[in-house]
Amino acid sequence: MKRLLTPGPTPVSPEVAAAMAAPLVYHRAPAFKEVVLRVRENLRWVFQTKGEAIFLTCSGSGAMEGAVANTLNRGDLAITIRAGKFGERWANICKAYGVQTHNIDIEWGKAVTVEQVKKALDENPKARAVMVQASETSTGVAHPVKEIAALVKSRPDTLCVVDGISALGVMNLPMDEWGIDVLVGGSQKAFALPPGLAFAAVSAKAQSFMEKSDLPKFYFSFTKEIASQSKGETAWTPAISLVMGLDAALNGMKAEGLEKLFGRHKTMANATRAGVKAMGLELFAPDSPSDSVTAIKAPGIDGQAIVKDMRDRHGITIAGGQDALKGKIFRLSHMGHVDRFDVLTALAASGDVCTRLGARLDVAKGLAASEAVFNAQN
- Which of 13, 15, 59, 254 forms a contact with ligand PLP (CB under 6 A)? 59
Cβ 269 to ligand PLP shortest distance, Å: 15
Decide if residue 299 touches ligand PLP (CB under 6 A).
no
- Quote the least distance from Cβ 280 to ligand PLP, whole Å: 28
Least distance (Å) between residue 337 CB and ligand PLP: 16
Considering only residues 73 to 102 of the shown chain, the ones binding ligand PLP according to CB under 6 A are: 86
Backbone angles phi, psi at 278, to 5 degrees: -65, -30
Q: What is the distance between the terminal CA atoms of the chain, rounded to a whole angstrom?
A: 28
Minimum distance from CB of 217 to ligand PLP (Å)?
A: 17
Among the listed ranges 104-112, 129-137, 267-275, 299-307, the one in contact with ligand PLP (CB under 6 A) is 129-137
Q: Which stretch binds ligand PLP (CB under 6 A): 91-99, 131-139, 259-267, 357-365?
A: 131-139
The piece of 23-31, 133-141, 146-154, 273-281 that touches ligand PLP (CB under 6 A) is 133-141
**What phi and psi values does residue 111 have, to the nearest 5 degrees?**
-95, 155
Query: What length is written for the chain?
Result: 378
Among 60, 66, 321, 336, binds ligand PLP (CB under 6 A): 60
Report strand pairing: 319-320 vs 329-333.
antiparallel
Residue 191 gets which letter from DSSP? T
Q: Phi, psi at residue 144, to the nearest 5°?
A: -75, 75
65 binds ligand PLP (CB under 6 A): no
Our finding on whether 133 is near ligand PLP (CB under 6 A) is yes
Which residues from 146-175 bind ligand PLP, rule CB under 6 A? 163, 165-166
Which DSSP helix (H) or strand (E) runs through 78?
strand 77-82
**DSSP for 43-109, written as a single string:** HHHHHT-SSEEEEEES-HHHHHHHHHHHH--TT-EEEEEESSHHHHHHHHHHHHTT-EEEEEE--TT
Among the listed residues 186, 299, 320, 366, the single contact to ligand PLP using CB under 6 A = 186
Question: Residue with the closest Cβ to ligand PLP?
Answer: 60
How near is the Cβ of 122 to ligand PLP at its closest, in Å?
Answer: 27
How far apart are the C-alpha atoms of 32 and 119, rounded to whole Å? 48
Backbone phi and psi for residue 355, each to the nearest 5 degrees, phi listed first: -65, -45
Whether 221 and 56 have beta carbons less than 8 Å apart is answered as: no
Binding site for ligand PLP (CB under 6 A): 8, 59-61, 86, 133, 135, 137, 163, 165-166, 186, 189, 195
